[in-house]
Amino acid sequence: MDPKTTLWFAEQQKKDLDLWFTERQTKDMKISVRVKKTLHQELTPFQSLAVLDTEQFGRMLTLDNIIQTTVKDEFVYHEMITHVALNTHAAPKKVLVIGGGDGGAVREIIKHQSVEKAVHCEIDGAVIEASRRFLPEISCAMDDPRVEIIVDDGIKHVQENKNTYDVIMVDSPDPIGPAVGLFSVSFYKDIFASLKEDGIFVAQTESPFFNRDLIPGLYRDISGIFPVTRLYLAVVPTYPGGLWTFTMGSKKYDPLEVDISGIPQLDTKYYSPDMHRACFVLPPFVKELLVQQG
Ligand code: SAM
């Protein structure tokens, strides 16, 4: 081929290179994100892991081809899984995150001055390493002296640590693979035992549109164990349907009784004292899930 033609082909190829990551969010729905570059891919002992640089959301972590977090929208999820419970507890000192390998939850936890220790128990060390390397703005608190990282199964960790934590957050993936047990009644009972007498637990509990078969059962299980159970909402653009649920189980404090005028100023972009209230206002189609027998 003459050099001119070769150059033409190279230019054409550059134009045509149109790479997309596609997550099958439900059996009948997919989300696709244009990929600038694949930064990392590996098969860990637990799952397939990838870090992609995308046009729309910046760097993105996927596990088993499911979007876990992106640098553009991670703040919503990480602020909402942490600050609602931390500002409901009177003085959280010892906090546990189960899962959450990217480190975003831990980054938010250490914004609270009362917190003396944030234990981060993630089953897959490769998620921690990839996040350190490719997602520094999310994993940046991992080396904070108040943070302790444990690479282990969170189910085992709560079984072995009774009456230890003020707040426990379950930052899990969808209920598949090593995370199935993180949605079980026996795990919630172990969490109850791992919390101190006024402890609070919060978990991400999936989509109110697409997980309508899962949420009623989870809510019933949690409210069968914790005296106060509350479900709240946030909007995370990369999760199926965007609208996302979190469920809180509390031994004593009620997030609805918090005096929001006393919530300290935090450096946040989604959570605020007003959002602390507003997130518990549920549309009827979500309220309906809480009275169903799961
Ligand atoms: N925000 C995310 C979402 O909803 O998609 C969750 C992100 S975070 C990366 C989930 C982490 O939980 C994963 O890194 C996974 O390895 C970890 N995980 C799964 N099962 C676990 C278990 N039994 N104990 C501790 N960590 C677990």
N- to C-terminal Cα distance for the chain?
A: 67
Any ligand 1 atom below 6 A from CB of 273: no
Q: Enumerate residues 6+ apart whose C-beta is below 8 A from 17.
A: none
Q: How far apart are CA 94 and CA 126, in angstroms?
A: 25
125/52 same-domain check: no
Q: Which domain holds residue 53?
A: 3-67
Q: Which ligand 1 atom sits nearest the alpha carbon of residue 154?
A: 24
55/184 same-domain check: no
In the beta sheet, which residues pair with residue 121? 98, 150
- Taking CA atoms only, the protein residue closest to ligand 1 atom 11 is 99
How many Cβ atoms from other residues are within 10 Å of residue 278's Cβ?
A: 11
Burial tier of 242 (Cβ tally within 10 Å: 0-12, 13-18, 19+)? middle
44/81 same-domain check: no
144/285 same-domain check: yes
Q: How far apart are CA 12 and CA 57, in angstroms?
A: 26
Final residue of a structural domain among 67, 88, 111: 67
Final residue of a structural domain among 67, 93, 118: 67
24/126 same-domain check: no
Count structural domains, the chain: 2
Looking up tokens 């199964």, which residue turns up? 153
84 Cα to the center of ligand 1, angstroms: 20
Any ligand 1 atom below 6 A from CB of 25: no
Q: Which ligand 1 atom sits nearest the alpha carbon of residue 179?
A: 20
Any ligand 1 atom below 6 A from CB of 77: yes
Final residue of a structural domain among 52, 67, 82: 67
Any ligand 1 atom below 6 A from CB of 129: no
245/187 same-domain check: yes
184 Cα to the center of ligand 1, angstroms: 15
Tens digit of pLDDT per residue, the chain (294 long)?
A: 677 777 777 666 566 678 999 999 888 999 999 999 999 999 999 999 999 999 999 999 999 999 999 999 999 999 999 999 999 999 999 999 999 999 999 999 999 999 999 999 999 999 999 999 999 999 999 999 999 999 999 999 999 999 999 999 999 988 988 789 999 999 999 999 999 999 999 999 999 999 999 999 999 999 999 999 999 999 999 999 999 999 999 999 999 999 999 999 899 999 999 999 999 999 999 999 999 754
Domain of 129: which CATH number? 3.40.50.150
Evaluate if pTM is beyond 0.75: yes
